[in-house]
C-alpha cells in the first residue's frame, strides 16, 4: 500500500484487552492431558516435554479445566463460543471506547476478526445489538485469517479509517481457542494445541484525527504451495487443528525476506524499525523470529511475556503484545513493525509510527 499520497493516515487512539475468568495453570493442564490421553495415545509420555517447553505459565479459559475432561458436541461448544465471544468483545470494546473518550454512539465502523467459532448473524451484528449501537454502523466480519487476523484486521480498520476521514473505526478480535478442543482427537497436533492455546479478546479504535501512533503502512505476503502449513480441517466434531512442524524453519528461512520486501515497498528498511512486535505463536517460533530479524536471544521480550501469561490466543495475541509495548515504550516515539502468521500460509505486516 502507499503510505502517503496526500491522504491522512489513521492513528491508534486507544487499545484494550479482555480475558475470561478461568485461569489454567500449565502444570494442571499437563496433568489433565495425561489423565485424558495416556490410556489411549500411544507413547504419550514422549509428548510431555511439549507442555514444559511451551514457555507458558498460565492461560485464560471461558470454561473451567474439568470441562475439557468430558466430551462435548460441536453444537454445544459453538454455542459456548458465541455466548462468550460476545461477552468478551463487549468488555474489550467498552474499555477501549472509555480510554478513547468516546461513546458507543460515536462508533461509525465495526470490524471484527475471529476464526475459532462460527456465528451467523456474525459477531459484529450480535455486538451491535448487545451494545445498542447506531443502526447505521458499517460492519466488516473477518473469518479465516487465524493468528494473522490481529495484524491484518488492524490493517483493514486502518484502510477504512483512511478512506473515511474523521470516522471512528473500531477493530475488535476474539479467539476462544480452548473451545476448539476435540475430546476424541488423539493426533499430535491436538496435544500440541492443548499445550498452547488460550482465550482472549482485544479492541482498538482508529481515526485520522486522533493523536496516537500512526498506522503508517501495511501489507501481506502469501508463500506458494503452503496451504497445508496452518489452518483447520473441518471434522464431524468440529475444527481439527492443522499446523506443520516446519513453521519455525519457514520463519527462520523466509520471514526476513518477506519483511524486507514489504518495508522496501514503503521506503523503509529493517534498520528503520525500533521495535519488533511479533505474534508469539510459540517459544520456537519466537526464537526463529529473533534469528530472522537479527535480534538477540530473548529480544522479543513482550511477546515472550505475553505467551507466558496468556498462551497463544490466535489473532488476539498480537494485540496483547502491542498493549505491553505501548505501556513500556509508549512515549518513545518508536517505529514498530507488527507481524503475525496465519493460514495461507501468510505473513501480515503493519508499521506503527510514533506515539
Q: How many whole angstroms separate alpha carbon 196 and alpha carbon 56?
A: 8
Tell whether 148 and 243 lie within a shared domain.
no
Active-site pick, 62, 96, 147, 177:
147
Tell whether 182 and 231 lie within a shared domain.
no
Tell whether 258 and 189 lie within a shared domain.
no
Q: Tell me which residue range forms the domain holding 87.
A: 11-207
Tell whether 256 and 173 lie within a shared domain.
no
3-state secondary structure of 339: strand
Among 207, 242, 264, residue at a domain's last position: 207
Tell whether 41 and 146 lie within a shared domain.
yes
Tell whether 315 and 241 lie within a shared domain.
yes
**To which H or E segment does residue 342 belong?**
strand 335-342
Query: HEC string of 227-246?
Result: CCCEEEEEECCEEEEEECCC
Count up the domains in the chain and report the number. Answer: 2
3-state secondary structure of 80: helix
Tell whether 218 and 198 lie within a shared domain.
no
Concerning whether 147 is annotated as a catalytic residue, the answer is yes
Q: What is the CATH number of the domain that holds 243?
A: 3.40.47.10
Among 175, 207, 239, residue at a domain's last position: 207
Q: How many whole angstroms separate alpha carbon 291 and alpha carbon 248?
A: 10
Evaluate whether residue 3 is within a structural domain. no
Tell whether 338 and 224 lie within a shared domain.
yes
pTM as predicted: 0.94
Tell whether 134 and 251 lie within a shared domain.
no
The per-residue pLDDT string of the chain (355 residues; one tens digit each, 9 = 90 and over) reads 444 455 789 999 999 999 999 999 999 998 888 888 877 777 777 878 888 888 999 999 999 999 998 999 999 999 999 999 999 999 999 999 999 999 999 999 999 999 999 999 999 999 999 999 999 999 999 999 999 999 999 999 999 999 999 999 999 999 999 999 888 877 778 888 888 899 999 999 999 999 899 999 999 999 999 998 998 888 888 888 888 888 999 999 999 999 999 999 999 999 999 999 999 989 999 999 999 999 999 899 999 999 999 999 999 999 999 999 999 876 567 899 999 999 999 999 999 998 5
Amino acid at each position: 500500500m502507499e503510505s502517503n499520497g496526500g491522504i491522512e493516515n489513521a492513528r491508534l487512539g486507544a487499545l484494550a484487552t479482555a480475558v475470561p475468568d478461568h485461569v489454567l495453570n500449565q502444570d494442571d493442564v499437563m496433568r489433565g492431558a495425561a489423565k485424558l490421553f495416556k490410556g489411549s495415545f500411544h507413547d504419550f509420555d514422549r509428548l510431555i516435554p511439549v507442555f514444559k517447553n511451551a514457555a507458558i505459565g498460565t492461560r485464560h479459559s471461558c470454561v473451567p479445566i474439568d470441562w475439557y475432561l468430558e466430551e462435548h458436541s460441536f453444537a454445544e461448544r459453538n454455542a459456548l463460543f458465541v455466548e462468550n465471544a460476545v461477552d468478551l468483545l463487549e468488555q474489550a470494546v467498552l474499555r477501549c471506547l472509555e480510554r478513547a473518550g468516546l461513546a458507543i454512539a460515536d462508533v461509525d465502523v465495526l470490524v471484527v476478526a475471529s476464526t475459532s467459532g462460527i456465528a451467523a448473524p456474525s459477531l459484529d451484528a450480535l455486538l451491535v445489538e448487545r451494545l445498542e449501537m447506531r443502526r447505521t454502523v458499517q460492519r466488516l466480519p473477518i473469518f479465516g485469517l487465524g493468528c494473522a487476523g490481529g495484524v491484518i484486521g488492524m490493517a483493514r480498520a486502518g484502510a477504512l479509517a483512511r478512506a473515511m476521514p474523521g470516522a471512528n473505526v473500531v477493530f475488535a478480535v476474539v479467539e476462544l481457542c480452548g473451545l476448539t478442543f476435540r475430546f476424541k482427537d488423539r493426533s499430535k497436533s491436538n496435544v500440541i494445541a492443548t499445550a498452547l492455546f488460550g482465550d482472549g479478546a482485544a479492541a482498538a479504535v482508529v481515526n485520522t484525527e486522533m493523536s496516537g501512533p500512526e498506522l503508517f503502512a501495511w501489507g501481506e505476503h502469501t508463500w506458494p504451495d503452503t496451504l497445508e502449513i496452518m489452518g483447520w480441517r473441518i471434522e464431524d466434531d468440529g475444527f481439527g487443528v492443522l499446523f506443520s512442524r516446519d513453521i519455525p524453519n519457514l520463519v527462520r528461512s523466509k520471514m526476513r525476506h518477506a519483511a524486507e520486501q514489504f518495508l522496501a515497498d514503503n521506503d523503509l528498511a529493517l534498520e528503520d524499525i525500533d521495535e519488533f512486535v511479533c505474534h508469539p505463536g510459540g517459544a520456537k517460533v519466537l526464537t526463529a523470529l529473533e534469528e530472522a530479524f537479527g535480534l538477540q536471544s530473548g529480544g522479543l521480550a513482550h511477546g515472550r511475556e505475553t505467551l507466558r501469561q496468556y498462551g497463544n490466543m490466535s489473532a488476539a495475541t498480537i494485540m496483547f503484545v502491542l498493549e505491553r509495548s505501548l505501556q513500556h515504550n509508549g512515549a518513545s516515539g518508536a517505529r514498530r513493525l507488527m507481524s503475525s502468521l496465519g493460514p495461507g500460509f501468510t505473513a501480515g505486516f503493519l508499521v506503527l509510527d510514533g506515539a
